[in-house]
Amino acid sequence: MKPFRQFRLSRRTLLRGAGAALALPWLEVMTPRSIRAAAAKPPVRLGCLYLPNGSPPEAWSPKSTAGKITALTSEMAALRPFMGDLQIITGLQSELRGSHPAAGATWLVRPAPEGDRISARRGVGGASMDQFVAKAIGSDTPFTSLELITKPEGSFGRSILRNNISWSSATTPLPRETEPRAIFNRLTGRGPAAGGPRRDDRQSILDAIAADARSLRTRVSVADRDKLDEYFEAVRAVEKRLELSRKESQARLDQRLAQATPPPAGIPEDHEAYLRLMFDMMVLAYWTDSTRVATFMLDHEQSNRYFNFLPGVKGMWHALSHWRDISGRTEDDDGKTSWTSRDVKRAQYLKVIEWHHRQVAYFFNRLKSIREGDGTLLDHSLILYGSPFADGHEHASKQLPVMLAGHANGQLQPGMHRSHQGKPLEGIYLSVMDKLGVRVEAFGGTDNALEI
């Protein structure tokens, strides 16, 4: 065995066991010895978080002085601890013409097959922005990219255009994952082994790779042992929550055997627990460098999910976004829910948006809590968060809500409010790609990158 000072570990090393493999977080022992590489930083991760059904500008726009954010709106209260990690960008516009299908399908921009709804100029080469990045930086990771979405509820759950933001071509979306357990199994190498039986999902991955883990701990520094312990504890915590979700789903299934449509196994009934587990999967994927590019649709476009579980909210999300219609008798309504006034309905619409901001804040907090190299996972990430519409009732394609979070290894200037009035959204995507080392001359009909 080599002495500790000579031992070096590849960033792509996996801990292996019977039918399982687990990637490792960034460790000191992974730092190359050359003087040039000594200054190397962990890789930058790209994340794209999609919020459907719009967000009114007044609920998104911060207060600022000389471009510095001084206050966030009440709807963004959960994000206030991260003001120094955010850029909020206002004034941007897209070429949407009020189309829900096009809103989701072209949020990250591609040549759209929706006819005259979208200008034929949109997109370059048929891929969405995240896939341009994935092709450039994804070859060094087990998964080129990871695409997540919550399981649909209500209408339009099978609409290809409403349910996909990541496209490898103008007509080919990337497969998406909806179950936390399935994502966990992909990241940990579980599933049918070549020539052998399928591993039991309920066995801890940590038990399977225990021998490899013990061997590694004897060869790394005390600081790296602490990082490994923190990482293993986080993996086990996720496993416990997944197992609890499985047991809850099985209990519901046992109670409802007589029903024609039992609930899907592995998806928590509690929607907040569900979203947070999905975010945990993104964190795990980044932490282990299993992928550097991930997208997450917090729901599909034109989502008709009920948010009656929120105090003071009733009705479906898409219906709430049309807050000027209170009768409950439009084509967007369920025929049984109505509201007493526009102000009441609009307040409920904003509560749904605020609730999603709380889940995003959870994600940011998880990234910021994990030390890596000279900073945190959030320091080494570039997270895009936004919606394809401004006010949901108007389907407005101006004053779009756009946020960037993270520091991208010092390449971003967070804590800033940038106003790019009347500029195309695609200009931000050019800038994002540039920060990630992806050189594209033009994108979505513009060659003008915008300051971020």
Whether residues 299 and 414 share a domain: the answer is yes
Domain end among 266, 294, 312: 266
CB 54 within 8 A of CB 392: yes
In order along its 452 residues, the chain shows pLDDT tens digits of 344 445 666 666 776 776 677 777 777 777 655 444 444 678 999 999 999 999 999 999 999 999 999 999 999 999 999 999 999 999 999 977 678 998 999 999 876 544 434 433 443 458 999 999 999 999 888 899 999 999 999 889 999 999 999 999 888 999 999 999 899 888 877 654 333 344 455 568 777 777 777 777 777 787 788 877 878 877 777 777 777 766 665 555 455 444 444 444 578 889 999 999 999 999 999 998 999 999 999 999 999 999 999 999 999 999 999 999 999 999 999 999 999 999 999 999 999 999 999 999 999 999 999 998 889 999 999 999 999 999 999 998 999 999 999 999 999 999 999 999 999 999 999 999 999 999 888 888 899 999 99
The verdict on 128 and 157 lying in the same domain is: yes
Nearest CA-CA partner of 425 in 53, 9, 60, 89: 89
Residue 378 shares a structural domain with residue 244? no
- Determine if the pTM surpasses 0.85: no
Same-domain pairing of 208 and 315: no
Asked if residue 403 is part of any domain, the answer here is yes
Pairing of strands 371-372, 375-376: antiparallel
Domain boundaries, position 250: 197-266
Same domain membership, residue 304 and residue 201:
no
Please state the domain count of the chain: 2
Same-domain check for residues 149 and 291: yes
The burial of 169, by beta-carbon neighbours within 10 Å (0-12 exposed, 13-18 middle, 19 or more buried), is given as: middle
Of 266, 283, 313, the position where a domain reaches its end is 266
Indicate whether 221 and 309 sit together in one domain: no
Domain contains 422: yes
Do 368 and 226 lie in one domain? The reply is: no
247 in the same domain as 98: no
Same domain, 280 and 260: no
Domain assignment of residue 311, yes or no: yes
Same domain for 213 and 358, yes or no, is: no
Q: In the numeric block, which tokens belong to residue 87?
A: 């850029």
Strands in 416-419's sheet, in edge-to-edge order, are: 63-65, 68-71, 416-419, 86-90, 402-405, 381-386, 45-50, 293-297, 146-149
Burial environment of residue 452 by CB neighbours within 10 A (0 to 12, 13 to 18, 19 or more): buried
- 282 and 421 part of one domain: yes
Q: How far apart are CA 166 and CA 295, in angstroms?
A: 7
Residue 21, domain member (yes or no): no
What is the domain-level CATH number for residue 378?
A: 3.40.720.10
The last residue of a domain, from among 209, 235, 266: 266
8 occurs within a structural domain: no
